[in-house]
Structure 1
């Protein structure tokens, strides 16, 4: 029986293989040291990093599962089941409790809450958004009162004055928001504001009148002139022309109040008081020439 001997590996080939193995070990060691150095710079332990990677993997899997379920309509079917269960259990909107309404039309509030729908389907934020579009509603809070009541708390805007427009009278609040149309008859006794652009200066007018509290109840109308100043008409029918500028007009109104307290200007024969000129009041009496009252100190 003949014996066949395998040819031994050449010396050069063996040396090359050994060299390649040594190079691979050195590269692996170098890569490991670089990775270790990079990991050492991070403010996490190895255990914490494992938890982060695990959370990312689980989160991604959950998002994928939800996406697939959404395509299959599973959340919608679940919502329908919950709504049906709530309805069968008596959790259905049967009543609306409305609070805080004094002047506005309550029906406009009730129309925004759908009776008969399951309590789980009541969209509180959507109802609130609809209510805030109503002129009278300054703020609103909507809540569920189980088993079958929706509670609506309304904060109404407060009527402040009447805005006189070319074709109608409109009730407004202190910010100039329209509340509702009003007849001229019903506007009697309220402050009537007029003039192009007057709506934007309702708050400034209130501050002006507050500077002279004694005169404020006697002001019947305020007209915004030339987009720069006010003419005030009192309940006596007399008119006061104020100068331009918030501080200057407030000072003039205070001065007029002091003069009225001393000389009873309101209710007299003077039809118009003009305070646009510094330190002087020009007074017009029907049928007579314009008179001038010097209010400067010393002359």
Structure 2
């Protein structure tokens, strides 16, 4: 199974098509006189998108003044004008063509673009960026996002992705959690086999404290199969060979330092054992494997 792929990449996604753009009529063979100013219609050949932008901004400013002067009737007027302005911008070429997702892993990008709720050829100027931000931040992968509109045709989603910390198992169910112990609903645990496994009630909340301490000891981390939460107050480390290391409810780092010193003297992690009890800071208790207690050598890897 593939390991987790984290953020930092820049991914471009094409928004899904929803409504085809209106076909533009072909220029007539015989030239017609241009309509006089102020009668509406699409911008002529000599009118640039920048000119449309400035003119529309002026119209919106006047509409806001009308709102303040006339109350509710002016508000309806503004809404109607805004719709017309957005359509005019769309005619001038301000339509959504590209969506850039920055800072998100490939696994998260599809969910982010889907949640944004935008579509190809959507009028870009009237797009409510706050609504887009709220929709994207509802995705479990996302910690926060900044939404930027780049005229004439691009939307940028600059994402701060939640860091995947561990796979959490409890009551027969597994979930991926972030570095604050929060579940990422969209993350498939089967695709995060490289993450540590934490087991039991409360393991999600306690994992952000213990895992950084354990990660400072790569040798022990490599030998550990799972961290098991006991009574939601302390940890047992279950090793890949079936051995067990019992940690205290407080002072886990000091206990692990004792274990390191013991391993330096006796190579206990290599020789194998049944259980090491580190719950008493004054005494490290080691229980050999049953085969050794019986006077027989333990089988390799048992």
TM-score, length basis structure 2: 0.67
Q: Would you say the 8 A contact 1:171–1:178 is kept in 2?
A: yes
Counterpart among 282, 285, 292 of residue 282 in structure 1: 285
* 1:141 corresponds to 2:146: yes
Structure 2: which 5+ residue stretches go unaligned? 1-64, 294-302
Q: Would you say the 8 A contact 1:211–1:250 is kept in 2?
A: no
Counterpart among 173, 182, 191 of residue 189 in structure 2: 182
Change (3 A) 1:254 1:67: same
Partner of 2:107: 104
Structure 1: which 5+ residue stretches go unaligned? 1-60, 291-299
- Number of residue equivalences: 225
**CA root-mean-square deviation:** 2.5
Structure with the higher helix share, 1 or 2? 1
Give the secondary-structure state (helix, strand or coil) at the position aligned to 1:117. Answer: coil
Partner of 1:195: 200
Partner of 1:75: 78
Counterpart among 264, 267, 271 of residue 267 in structure 2: 264
Give the secondary-structure state (helix, strand or coil) at the position aligned to 1:171. Answer: strand
Which region of structure 1 is more displaced relative to structure 2, 139-148 or 169-178? 169-178
Higher relative contact order (CA 8 A, sep 6+): 2
Counterpart among 227, 237, 242 of residue 222 in structure 1: 227
Deviation readout 1:169-223 (Å, 9 max, x if unpaired): 222222122232323xx55443110111111112111243256455334333111
> Where do 1:53-68 residues align within 5 Å?
65-67=69-71
Counterpart among 158, 165, 180 of residue 160 in structure 1: 165
User: Could you tell me how far apart the structure 2 residues matched to 1:189 and 1:114 are?
Assistant: 34
Partner of 1:239: 244
TM-score, length basis structure 1: 0.67
Which region of structure 1 is more displaced relative to structure 2, 84-93 or 201-210? 201-210
Q: Which has the larger radius of gyration?
A: 1
Q: CA deviation at 1:227?
A: 1.5
Q: Would you say the 8 A contact 1:161–1:171 is kept in 2?
A: yes
Change (3 A) 1:232 1:127: same
Q: CA deviation at 1:162?
A: 1.0
